[in-house]
């Protein structure tokens, strides 16, 4: 079976400077894969390439399935509909919308209304809206946010904003979920709870997960494989144990362990 996602000789330059250089990565169905490296190594640039924010200078990105899809030729909203969702290092919610509306907005990417259904609020429209609201509330309940459905996103504590962002990403019904530093700003207890949540999400939603993270307890605790970037190039790939003991990774990122 081919990988779910393949990056082949992926390169991205800005003004002649390489942010990503000849990167090769495979992510297989059902895996939790880590992407680590120093600040400025190119990790978020790689996520932006996968999700269509940037177009690669060279190389290819392929989403495998019944039909192989060249992601480099798709727009961000098309990629989202294909089954790739993400969260961001800096939380990007619609802060002046309610918790419920943030999630409903994501669910709506999978529903098509005719103009007349929406304008006239026909029974078919009302039925679809009711079903979406139920699904959104069910999802919020999983993340213990259902009681705050009418709260503006900006008024949530940081940890709840992070959970809402993950819930909104899941509302896109992805096959591949990209998590950009999900443990940022969390204390050790919250990080431990996050690890359990990620493992549960993988099983419950049949997800494949690629995550960027600086918290090594999270990376080493949940990832089956880890890729390491430095100055835009891959310097290592392997199991957590292999990465932890790789001299190149220790020198570039982990320090003496």
Percentage of the residues of the chain whose pLDDT score is greater than 70: 91
Q: What is the mean pLDDT of residues 194-211?
A: 93
Lowest mean pLDDT among 67-76, 157-166, 173-182, 199-208: 67-76
Write down the pTM of the prediction.
Answer: 0.87
What integer pLDDT is reported at residue 107 of this predicted model?
77
Segments making up each domain of the chain, as ranges: 1-83+174-257, 93-173
Fold assignment, 1-83+174-257: Rossmann fold (3.40.50)
What integer pLDDT is reported at residue 257 of this predicted model?
42
What integer pLDDT is reported at residue 90 of this predicted model?
81
Q: What is the mean pLDDT of residues 148-152?
A: 95
What are the tens digits of pLDDT across the range 105-131? 887 776 666 555 656 566 666 677 677
Tell me the pLDDT band of 198, cut-offs 50, 70 and 90: very high
What are the tens digits of pLDDT across the range 162-183? 899 999 999 999 999 999 999 8
57/116: higher pLDDT: 57
What is the pLDDT of the chain when averaged over all its residues?
A: 89
Which H or E run contains 236?
Answer: strand 233-238
What integer pLDDT is reported at residue 112 of this predicted model?
65
Q: What is the mean pLDDT of residues 187-205?
A: 90
What integer pLDDT is reported at residue 130 of this predicted model?
74
Residue whose C-alpha is closest to residue 176's, from 203, 222, 207: 207
Give the pair of three-digit tokens for residue 143: 């993340």
Residue whose C-alpha is closest to residue 9's, from 18, 17, 1, 21: 21
One DSSP character per residue, 206-234 reads: T-EEEEE-S-HHHHHHH-SEEEEEETTEE
Measure CA of the first residue to CA of the last residue in the chain; give whole Å: 37
- 8 A C-beta contact, residue 82 and residue 63: yes
């Amino acid at each position: 079976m081919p990988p779910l996602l393949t990056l082949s000789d992926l390169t991205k330059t800005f003004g002649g400077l390489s942010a990503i250089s000849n990167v090769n990565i495979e992510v297989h169905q059902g895996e939790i894969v880590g992407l680590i490296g120093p600040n400025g190594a190119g990790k978020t640039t790689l996520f932006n390439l996968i999700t269509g924010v940037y177009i690669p200078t060279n190389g290819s990105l392929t989403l495998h399935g019944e039909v192989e899809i060249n992601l480099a030729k798709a727009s961000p909203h098309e990629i989202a509909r294909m089954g790739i969702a993400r969260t961001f290092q800096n939380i990007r919610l619609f802060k002046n919308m309610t918790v419920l509306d943030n999630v409903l907005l994501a669910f709506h990417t999978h529903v098509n209304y005719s103009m007349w259904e929406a304008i006239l609020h026909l029974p078919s429209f009302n039925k679809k809206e009711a079903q979406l609201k139920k699904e959104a509330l069910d999802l919020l309940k999983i993340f213990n946010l259902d009681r705050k459905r009418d709260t503006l996103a900006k008024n949530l504590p940081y940890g709840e904003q992070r959970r809402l962002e993950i819930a909104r990403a899941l509302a896109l019904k992805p096959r591949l979920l990209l998590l950009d530093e999900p443990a940022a700003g969390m204390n050790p207890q919250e990080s431990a709870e996050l690890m359990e949540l990620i493992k549960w999400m993988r099983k419950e939603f049949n997800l494949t997960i690629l995550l960027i993270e600086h918290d090594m307890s999270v990376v080493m605790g949940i990832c089956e494989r880890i890729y390491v970037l430095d100055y835009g190039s891959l310097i290592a790939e392997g199991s957590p144990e292999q990465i932890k003991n790789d001299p190149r990774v220790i020198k570039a990122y982990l320090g003496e362990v």
